[in-house]
Each structure stands twice: as C-alpha cells, then as structure tokens.
Amino acid sequence: MASTLEALDHWVTEVAAMTRPARIHWCDGTDGEYRALVQQMLESGTLIELNQQTHPGCYLHRSHPSDVARVEHLTFVCHPDEQDAGPNNHWMDPAAAHAKIDALYDGCMEGRTMYVVPYCMGPIDSPLARCGVEITDSPYVVVNMRIMTRMGAAAQARIEREGHFVKGLHSVGELDPERRFIMHFPAELTIKSYGSGYGGNALLGKKCHALRIASHQARNEGWLAEHMLIVGIENPRGETHYIAAAFPSACGKTNLAMLIPPEGYRRDGWKVWTVGDDICWMRPGADGRLYAINPEAGFFGVAPGTSDETNPNALQSVARDAIFTNVALTADSQPWWEGLPGTPAIDWQGRPFDPAHGPAAHPNSRFTVAANRCPTWSAQAEAPQGVPISAIVFGGRRPSLLPLVMEARDWTHGVLMGAAMGSETTAAATGAVGVLRRDSMAMKPFCGYHYGDYFRHWLSFDQPDAVLPKIFHVNWFRKDKDGTFLWPGYGDNLRVLEWMIQRVEGRIEGVQTPIGILPAAGELRVDGLNLDGRKLDVLLDVDHVAWRSELAAIGDYLASFGSRLPEALRIEQQRVARALDNVIEEPRREAMAR
Ligand code: SAT
Ligand code: MN
C-alpha cells in the first residue's frame, strides 16, 4: 500500500531516502496487523508475555533504564522567531534544528522496518478531530499508537480526503540520552523525535501533536487544546454535566476521570462517565457553549498507586489486552506495582526484586489500554460534536495555602487562576521530584507557543454571545502540619464536583472571599465522611497574609512574560491583590470611623 495523496507519498519517500530502512510497512490498523506485531516483539524480546490466564492479551515492555519519562530539557519548539516560543519553551532555530536532527536520522533505520502510521486524533467523523502520520522504526510505538489513536486505513482515507496532516518522524536511534531530541516545528506542522522510545517522547500523536502542535493550531483557528481530563457527572435526576479538568502529569487525572461515587451518592443514583483522562480539545458551538472531544482512543496511565481502593475502573480496564511498561512481575508473571496486594518477584528492570534497588515498579511505569475497556466509558465519548462543558477545573499538588475548592468570579479571574497554577513536580518528567513550580493550565511542558500569547488566547473566548463554563480551582493535596493529607480524595472528590455543579445550576450561594467563591458552611456534603470539622476548616481557610505573598509571587511570575502578558491579566492580579489588602485594612477603617 502507498497513498493516493502525493504529499504523503512524497514525504515517505523522502524520509526513506534519509533513514534507509530495509523495508516499509504501511499500517492498516487491523487486528491481524496488531497480532503479527505482538508476535514479532515476543520473539525479539521487546515484549514479554504476562500470565495469560489472569491477564489475557497483556504484555510487558521494559524500556531502556535511562528512557523512562519525558525529557523536557531535550524538547524544543522551533518557531522561526525565538520570541514566539516564549520563556516557557526551549527554542532552536528551525533550520539549525532540522540540520541537527537530520544528521542523526541519516541511515538510522538501516536493516530495520520503517512503519508508516496514519492516525486520527478524535472520533474519525468529528469535525473537531485532526489527523497525522507518524513514521517510526519502533513496533512498540506502532502497537501503542493503535491503542491510543484511531490508527490505520480509516485515518489514511480521511487524510487523503482532507489533503493535509501533521508529519511526525520518530526513530529510537541508539536510545542514547546524549543523542536524544524531541523537536516541534509548529509552522510546518512537523514533529521530529530521536533517541527515545518512551510514551510522551515517542507516541507522537499524544503530547507532541495533540498538545504542542495542536495548541498552536488551536490559537490560529479559535479553539483550545488542553491538558485536561473530561468527565461526565450524572445526577439522580439523570442530567449530566461535563467537566474538563487540568492537572499536571501524575496528579490523578485518570483517577478523577474514572471516579467511583461514595456510597451515599451511589445509593442516591449519582453516576460518573469517563470521556477522557489526559487531553481535551474544545471549541465554541453554535449555542455559545464550549464543546469538547477527547482526541485519544486509549489511556496511557500511571500504574503505581492504581488499586481497587483508588481506581477500580482502571484496574478492570487493564485486566485484558493491555500493554504494561516498566512494571514489576509477581512469581507467576502477573503485572505488579506499588499499591497492589501481593509481592513482586522481578523488578521493572528484570532483576530479582530487592528493596535496596528502590521500588519494584518504576514510579512512572504505565499501562496502555483502549479507552472503551473502561467500565464507565461514556456513550458520548465518540460523539462527533463533542460534549458541552459546564465547568473547567484547575488543580495541582499544593501542600499548603490553596483551599480545597474555590470558584473564579468570572472568566478573566478564572484565566488568572489557571495561569497562577502551581504544583510539586512528579516522576512523569526527568528531574527533581517534589519541587513547587508554576505550571499554568498544567501546560508548562506542552504549550507550543509563548505563554503570554496563550493567556491572551484564553481571554479571547470571553465574547458577548459566549456561554462560558464556570472556572474552579481545586487542591486535593493539602497537607496537615504532620504531613498527612487533609482530604481523602479519590471517590470523595465527587463531593467537591457536586458543589461545583450546584454553583453552575445556581442552587447555592457560596461565600465571596478576595481569592474567589468558597463553599459556605453546610454547602459541601460531608455526610458519611469521617472528616473532623477542624480539618474542613483548614481545607477551606483563607490565610490573607499568606495569600498576599502568593499574589505578589503570581505578579512576579506574570511579569516574567514581559510585554506579551495581556494587560487584562495584570489588572486582574492587581484587583485580587487589592481585595486582599482591603481585608486587612477593614478593621483599621472601622477603628478610624469610631
Ligand atoms: O508524557 S506522557 O504522555 O508520556 C505521560 C504524561 O507525562 O502525562
Ligand atoms: Mn498528561
């Protein structure tokens, strides 16, 4: 098979001339092709068969030990003008970047198969979906792309109809961290990745296309490409509100997207529907509301911590036909990670387990599985027009200060909340873990252009005819003085989502504070929860003095975007800062009046 689209054929020929593969395989996305690739990888040792009695169709892949996470320091956004990349990206001149990486590609596929992988991000018949083609020399990437995207003949047919596509070239190269680059050319709708086989660096449909390239396209075309889960919350009356929520990698997006309602809620008839766990593309519909699709077709979830207590839906999803990467094994070849019952026998590197070597599963070990395997997969997840979004949620790991939940008073304030987001770093990227960093809209590693322009794009959705979602900020990760989490999280997060929905429906008032609207006493449903009142007070406390410092820090952060920072955001930061100042001054004014 080749393509009827000249541009595609031409590009494949060009890449083959540079990389010189022994053969070219055009992927059709069929079951037979998937099975043949799995068989081939079992024979080469790239995949290891797991216990087929307990885990039918499941396999393990062990990556190179130095290739286990995204590499932000080796990820570049190559706009012709450096200013367009912004301080939030590493930049390289496009011509220099092409030259650097093309030198690595020279002959890199000799003796190997080059796979041409057409894929569609989003339901194949959705006007919001976008297509791409990834060329790769990794069969592991091909089978993961088959799970994570609509991959194969149908995508190729759409590409040939539309005449355009995002070009992604990937080679595992030598898996040498010194010869590793993930490069993006937004103006050319092109991605070039070399030297890594890890998910976010190698499955180019995911972060590279659906976030970095798509965020750039979205800005030009009037939509949003975001690092957000999408979840539907059905109340006992049978009405469903869809919520899009942005959290940094490894902060519980998959768990929130698959949440199991607490017992009392289940009894009352609450249901939760999963639409997506990582990426959300949304655009205004004819009625002014934002409509969202999940561009992905699968989950690439963090394994450690996933258990029957934290996320039984995820555990059920991966019971069959899943690919595990860098997890440990039990003595009878079942996948194992920290948080599961049982004991590991073999660690993620294939050594007999020894606690002295660290955790048995790599902290960023993952599962890949088709989204429709999830018991709570939404019937609307494939809807071509997407689902209407009632609320947008921002959140991160903040051990102190940030309350359990707060609501923005309007869109501009909400954009400020998103821009000001901070979180402790996790194992999803190489580097120090547990360091607080600003991560606006959880897009720090993924926004394909200048953050100042991105904030301006967000603000531009506030149009007279728009029916915008309410914006909230949450913090599931607040800690007590002794370092324990104050909020139980997981299923109980539905209590917070219910409060949001009540606000969206105008059923409750909340309390106005300088930092936003918080739940009034009694509004947050805590029945059945063993949470003492003091903890709830701490979770909903607004420490005005500490918040004044936070606002000053937010001001400094915003100023780092220079003249591209929208004036409206600076003014909004000042408004909140002034509101905080006034709280402190109030008693003084009263005293003066007396
Ligand atoms: O970057 S990945 O897509 O591999 C996972 C993540 O960090 O969210
Ligand atoms: Mn992610």
Mutate to test the pocket of ligand 1, among 71, 74, 300, 323 (most ligand atoms within 8 A of CB): 300
Output the CA angle 208-477-87, nearest 5 degrees. 40
**Atom of ligand 1 lying closest to residue 227 CA:** 8
- Strand ranges (DSSP E) for 439-479? 470-474
Residue 476 one-letter amino acid: W
The pLDDT, as a whole number, for residue 427 is 87
List the residue whose alpha carbon is closest to atom 8 of ligand 1. 249
Sign of CA dihedral 403, 405, 411, 414: positive
| Structural domains of the chain, with CATH | 6-46+67-221 (3.40.449.10), 225-298+378-430+459-547 (3.90.228.20)
Q: Is 283 in the pocket of ligand 1 (CB under 6 A)?
A: no
List the residue whose alpha carbon is closest to atom 1 of ligand 1. 200
Cβ(461)–Cβ(468) under 8 Å? Answer: yes
Helix (H, G, I), strand (E, B) or coil at 485: strand
- Strand ranges (DSSP E) for 268-386? 271-276, 280-284, 290-293, 298-302, 323-325, 328-329, 335-336, 366-370
How far apart are the C-alpha atoms of 202 and 566, rounded to whole Å? 34
Q: Give which of 212, 367, 216, 196 is closest to 277, Cα–Cα.
A: 367
Q: Is 70 in the pocket of ligand 1 (CB under 6 A)?
A: yes
The pLDDT, as a whole number, for residue 426 is 85
How far apart are the C-alpha atoms of 531 and 108, rounded to whole Å? 58
How far apart are the C-alpha atoms of 136 and 140, rounded to whole Å? 10
Residue 29 one-letter amino acid: G
Output the CA angle 35-36-37, nearest 5 degrees. 90
Q: Is 310 in the pocket of ligand 1 (CB under 6 A)?
A: no
The pLDDT, as a whole number, for residue 584 is 65
The pLDDT, as a whole number, for residue 432 is 86
The pLDDT, as a whole number, for residue 250 is 85
Cβ(512)–Cβ(576) under 8 Å? Answer: no
Active site residues: 251
Ligand nearest to the CA of 70: 1
**Atom of ligand 1 lying closest to residue 69 CA:** 4
Please state whether 452 falls in left (phi above 0), alpha (psi between -120 and 50) or beta: alpha
Q: Is 249 in the pocket of ligand 1 (CB under 6 A)?
A: yes
Pair of tokens at residue 102: 């093309």
Residue 86 one-letter amino acid: G
Distance 356 CA to ligand 2 centre (A): 30
The pLDDT, as a whole number, for residue 585 is 54
Q: What is the pLDDT along the chain (594 residues), one digit of tens a residue?
A: 599 999 999 999 999 999 999 999 999 999 999 999 999 999 999 999 999 999 999 999 999 999 999 999 999 999 999 999 999 999 999 999 999 999 999 999 999 999 999 999 999 999 999 999 999 999 999 999 999 999 999 999 999 999 999 999 999 999 999 999 999 999 999 999 999 999 999 999 999 999 999 999 999 999 999 999 999 999 999 999 999 999 998 899 999 999 999 999 999 999 999 999 999 999 999 999 999 999 999 999 999 999 999 999 999 999 999 999 999 999 999 999 999 999 999 999 999 999 999 999 999 999 999 999 999 999 999 999 999 999 999 999 999 999 999 999 999 999 999 999 999 888 888 888 888 899 999 999 999 999 999 999 999 999 999 999 999 999 999 999 999 999 999 999 999 999 999 999 999 999 999 999 999 999 999 999 989 889 999 999 999 999 999 999 999 999 999 999 999 999 999 999 999 999 965 554 444 554
The pLDDT, as a whole number, for residue 594 is 46
Q: Is 301 in the pocket of ligand 1 (CB under 6 A)?
A: no
- Strand 228-234 relative to strand 271-276: parallel, antiparallel, unpaired? antiparallel
Mutate to test the pocket of ligand 1, among 61, 121, 206, 255 (most ligand atoms within 8 A of CB): 206
